[in-house]
Structure 1
Amino acid sequence: METYDERLTGMLESFLFIAGDDGLTLNQIASLLQVELDAAASIAEGLRVNYEERPDSGITLRLYGGHYRLVTKAEFADDIVRMLENPTRNSITQASMEVLAIIAYKQPVTRIEIDDLRGVKSDGPIQTLVARGFIMEVGRMEGAGRPILYGTTDLFLDRFGLESIDMLPPLSEGDDEEQFGDTDLFMTKFQEAFEITEEGGNND
């Protein structure tokens, strides 16, 4: 039967997964779990130890810059690189293309803003695009939590044949900002501009 502590640990794991790259501070964890700071720290440490002691787990918990984040274990680094370099993964998925398009035209932009525009979580596509070198962290937004801001890289410009981000083609006449609220229209315009299909692109 599930214990109270086990439920809190499971809740924390869920919260950290949803938080993605932004992670959670100890204060945020305590507030979300509705426990004192000492208890929150103990639960986080217990989760970390659990990950470290499990040989069948490829992820662990790390504290970076005051934020707890779920990360892959260092011992699997070579395997992850091999996976990312697998030629069968050359195509860009529709989800990743949506995120890349939003970042290209709206940068700098936070994950939350991307999620709001797409209507779904974007952690996976963002991690994929970072790993492939198309986007990177370009700073943090001022305010609560200081969320990460994302922008495109020189590799993005190179792969899409652009000298600078200013050379991005307009999505429509007048560059109507409202189209960003319509994912289907937004993606249609972006894909038409670069002659990209859902399975991949002419430069990727």
Structure 2
Amino acid sequence: MTDSGEMQAALEAVLFVASEPIPRGKLLEIFDEGEREAAGEALDTVVSRYGAEAGKGVLVEEVAGGFRLVTRPELHGYLRKFFEVTGRTKLSMAALETLAIVAYRQPVTGPEVQDYRGVNSSGVLKTLLERRLIKIAGRKQVVGKPFLYRTTREFLMHFGLESLEDLPPLEEIEDVFGAQQTPLELESL
């Protein structure tokens, strides 16, 4: 039987090499069936050891239905200097508005997004598709059969959300925008 220390080391190694969050059940599958309960405890220990309060350079976070090993956000300045990156690209206000509409109204069509925003949004939708924050989720069965858009797993990971239920209430979004009309005020939810 594998000891707890070896289980923890194996879990750390898998989290280190994984490119996206791994669900708990899938992580535990690397161990024999009889060891999975102990492996679950080992995973809890790893999550605690690399938690937000641990003060290490990396942390294990639970997002998008799984666990991943990431660098601490407050250390990103050092990483940018190391890699000589000028900074991460930010989303424009138009992209944020469009992303909010898709997130809160999904699935939503391009023409519906355009109606909410009051301007042509095809370029912004294309940008969000390229950044893999939204995806095409089929076609709406109406005249013209426009594409339906919804958010992706990358959207959840980028914003540190476990699921769409973790989105802040719409009232909080409206508070952030202050007196400005938010894109979602056009119709009550």
* Structure whose residues are more often helix by fraction: 1
Q: Shorter-normalised TM-score: what interval?
A: 0.3 to 0.5
Which protein has the larger Cα radius of gyration, Structure 1 or Structure 2?
A: 2
User: TM-score normalised to the size of structure 2?
Assistant: 0.46
